[in-house]
Chains A and B, each alone.
Chain A
Amino acid sequence: MFYWLDQLIEYLVENVFGLSMDTQLGSSIHFFFYDTIKIIILLSIMIFIISYIRSFFPPERTKKILEKFSGIKANIMASLLGIVTPFCSCSSVPIFIGFVEAGIPLGVTFSFLITSPIVNEAAFAVLLAAFGWKIALIYVMTGVLIGVISGAIIGKLKMEKEVEEYVYQMKTAEVNIIDPSTQERIIFALDNVRDIVKRVWLYLLIGIGIGAAIHGYFPDEGFLAQYAGPENPFAVFVAVILGIPLYSNAIGTIPIAEALIGKGVGIGTALAFMMAVTALSLPEMILLRKVIKPKLIATFVVITGIGIILVGYLFNLLVPIIR
């Protein structure tokens, strides 16, 4: 799909910059331009498609859909809807209250809250650019799986007492969902593309810059493979612990991860790190503290963390087989 671009940048490096592709500088410059253009094209396409689908699923409608399901089916639905429902961390509290108030079980609410940040269109687009379809799809499926299983466990633990009292006493109105016209949906999707690209481009460029430097100047294999390679089970654990306080822009971490994987870091290790950065973010926990007690927050972090570590192992095992 991007062979033409690869060739074009190679031509630029060799004829405009006058560098050989075999030099460290030449290969760094190629990585930088090729990756930047490829990621921005894919990112824009993905955000547009998902935002358009998203305009059909405002959280108010998601709530209505979830009221119809029960048991593990409800966890699966919640997790899947977590992919397409628009969500930023400033909405997590009203969404939590709205769900609980509508009588949606706590575990089902968590399935939604966990999958939503892990599987987002931006991460998907960049994964697609860096690793191709298979890895990107497996990432989505495992993100859904973590949401379903973690939510189901939280549901089984019967932690309703760990929600702040006032949440149960709140009354929310039934709101009429106003469906936008097709033209409004397209405008909404384009606005989203502009917003997200505007928000992440700098992080992305910094990430690609660091990735390009690693790509061109870092010694091949050896040291990294030894400490953070797929054979080191401890590395996944450390990556997840590191990811929790690092609420950075996950998008910027992907090109760095891509370059590091090229140098021998396990893919599972890198993906577990990315999932931890997005799913277990400190600002999110601080917001959720308004509605749930510390014990439930801790439970959510531990269960989701274990899920992500297991996914890291899974990828480290699987990737050599499917690539």
Chain B
Amino acid sequence: MVIKVLGSGCSACKKLEANVKEAVNELDLNVRIEKVEDIKDIVAYGVMKTPALVVDEQVKVMGRIPKVKEIKKYLSN
């Protein structure tokens, strides 16, 4: 599984990244977390409002910061 955090480095994106790390730790998963900061790569996903969460190339959340509990839901399926 590959998790990507899309965002151009604003505070909301950093918060999402922290939540993702926490969710991964709680589930004790061995996954790669990538940060996608280039605007061209972000819009390639069709995302217009950051931060966004992409799990295995599927956009799960965009334009808001999901809670750890919600992120765990996306990672468990």
Q: Is B65 an interface residue (CB 8 A)?
A: yes
From A93, A173, A191, B65 is in contact (CB under 8 Å) with A191
Supposing A97-B39, A191-B65 touch, asked if A91 and B44 sit within 8 A by C-beta, the answer is: no
Contact A90 B50 (CB under 8 A): yes
Interface string of A67-100 (1 = CB under 8 A from B): 0000000000000000000111011011101100
Within 8 Å CB of B46, what residues of A? 60, 98, 172-175
Binary interface encoding of chain B residues 37-76 relative to chain A, with 1 for a CB under 8 A from any of its CBs, else 0: 0011011111111100000000111111101001000000
B1 at the interface (CB under 8 A from A): no
B10 to chain A: closest CB distance in Å?
5
CA distance A165 to B70 in the complex (A): 39
Cβ of A178 and Cβ of B60 under 8 Å apart?
yes
Cβ of B10 and Cβ of A58 under 8 Å apart?
A: no
Q: Are B39 and A173 in contact (CB under 8 A)?
A: no
> In the complex, which residue of chain B has the Cβ closest to the Cβ of A99?
B48
- From residue B75, how far is it (CB to closest CB) to chain A in Å? 16
The interface residues of chain A lying within 8 Å CB-to-CB of B49 are 58-60, 86-87, 91, 94-95
Contact A94 B44 (CB under 8 A): no
Q: Please classify how large the interface on chain A is, using the bins under 10, 10 to 19, 20 to 34, 35 or more.
A: 20 to 34
A202 within 8 A of B: no
The 8 A CB mask of A31-47 against B (1 = contact, 0 = none) is 00000000000000000
> Within the assembled complex, what's the spacing in Å between the Cα atoms of A290 and B45?
19
Instruction: Produce 1/0 per residue, B16-56, CB < 8 A to A.
Output: 00000000000000000000000110111111111000000
Residue A227 interfacial (CB < 8 Å):
no
Q: Which chain A residues lie closer than 8 Å to B42 at the CB level?
A: 94
In the complex, what residues of B have CB within 8 A of residue A98's CB?
43, 46, 48
Which A residues touch B50, using CB under 8 A?
Answer: 90-91, 94
> Given contacts A59-B48, A91-B49, A91-B50, are A188 and B43 in contact (CB under 8 A)?
no
CA distance A145 to B58 in the complex (A): 39
Which A residues lie within 8 Å of B8 (CB)?
A: 90, 93
Q: Which residues of B contact A94 (CB under 8 A)?
A: 39, 42-43, 47-50
Residue of A nearest to B70 (CB): A184
Given A94-B48, A97-B43: A175 touches B64 (CB 8 Å cut-off): no
Closest CB-CB distance, A101 to chain B, in whole Å?
7
Inter-chain CA distance A173–B45, complex, in Å, is 5
CB nearest neighbor in A for B45: A173
A128 to B18, CA, bound (A): 37
- B46 to nearest A CB, angstroms? 3
A178 lies within 8 A of B44 (CB): no
Q: Is A156 at the interface (CB under 8 A from chain B)? A: no
Q: Closest approach, in angstroms, between the C-beta of A87 and any C-beta of chain B?
A: 8
Q: Does A63 lie at the interface of the complex (its beta carbon under 8 Å from any beta carbon of B)?
A: yes
For the A-B complex with A86-B49, A172-B46, A176-B59 known, give 6 more contacts whose Cβ atoms are closer than 8 Å.
Answer: A91-B48, A94-B42, A94-B48, A172-B45, A175-B45, A175-B47
In the complex, the 6 A-B pairs of residues with the closest C-beta atoms, listed nearest first: A175-B46, A173-B46, A59-B48, A98-B48, A90-B10, A94-B48
A contact set with B: CB distance below 8 Å: 58-60, 63, 86-88, 90-91, 93-95, 97-98, 101, 166, 170-176, 178, 184, 187-188, 191, 290
5 residue pairs of the A-B complex, CB under 8 angstroms, read: A91-B48, A94-B42, A95-B48, A187-B67, A188-B64
